[in-house]
Structure 1
């Protein structure tokens, strides 16, 4: 079977030629020497082939229907097929529905009247409203999916060696304290038990940092940080200014934005991204745990953020 023209038109029309995940345009402008380039795929939620991702969930006659199709860029088409456990059929249907709801609301100015019979100013308003604004497309400050397209970001990895060393020292101290509780007097036993109670959470915390070190990604769409207990994401279109400054004695990537207070405070976030009320900004990532200096991070922020970084 093949996708009918009717289903194809509905899919592209309701998706407004945008990827359902990253919402980047899927039709690129023509150049001086070549025509337009289509970089979107009409991806199947449930695969056509018997061994494909999410296969066998619906009858064969429904595989090429609109309800089983989702419009994706080539990067996310590859990702959803490579990661079918995470991108299961229900998840993809939810992504599709959310994207089409957003598209209907985002571009509803075109539905209020026929642009073909309107004035030139009406067309200009429609184009302006269609511009990107992450605040109106269901922006999630803690999204775990990578926000930047593949190959269009720079990564700064966190340190691991120092955390493994701390884990080793704390484990050794825990072993010695355990021996002390066995051989010592009652007073020493109580002291050692108290020490172990304090030592154990530290071991767990540094273990997590060693296994999943902080990672900073600065890319074409925005700035994203991955922490052991979550992530932080801020697109460029929400950032007024960004810099690496010292906050509460620690260097960190700090962004000024009208949505900075959407992030939790330092008390609520722990070591993650947090809102700094005194600055009216959000510290997205500390530099201390990273294997990178201020100059390297600033270079990436200036390259991708352009005039947003001094």
Structure 2
């Protein structure tokens, strides 16, 4: 048949190629209406020669014949500075524990806590300084440093009389001559029992009980007049007045009372008491007649 000229019929329709075979639509149509290979390959579409190699090229992330305009894979970002917040926290914890532990037996409670907290705060400060040049620290490190500073301020307010040993101590003098001018206990339960002391009428016995932290309890004889000055830095004051108990819970609480003897009791002298506790309870009670 005639294939040239303006009235030439279109090319004969062809069936789609089988997989792996040549693709007739890849070949350009020449002037006479026929097709023919031009060049060694096409700009897109699967490879006619080696489909497996084309798939491997795609999996490898390299530009292939079916995607010549695919953008290259982004380069991995450079790693940022390594966080040292965890290391700083652990070091501060160890430093604080060592500082408090090594001074626990030799120093009062407040001083021992101050030594440990100062050591921990120094580690936090050093960690923040190092992080400005090497590594980095997050908000948690700044927060822990702030909490440590607040605890340090609180530790400085603890009375120096508070010791690190909690003990139970009781004094029970049997006569006026055996009553000491003062009794002291760092931390614990202190009890001064004066119920066995006979104070003659007209005489006055003076004594003092001081506890850093805990309970300071005094038991006075049944028939004496008691002049008491009780002070609690933070805690409770319980004074027995006749059959009534007065309770005060406050900070920096001071109470001065004169407790008269119960009605019908034998005449007796006077006991002047000063009872002081830094943190805890002050209790003055009367022995049963």
Q: TM > 0.5 between the two?
A: no
TM-score, normalisation: structure 2 = 0.26
- Larger % of strand: which? 2
TM-score, normalisation: structure 1 = 0.24
- Larger % of helix: which? 1
* Higher Cα Rg, which structure: 2
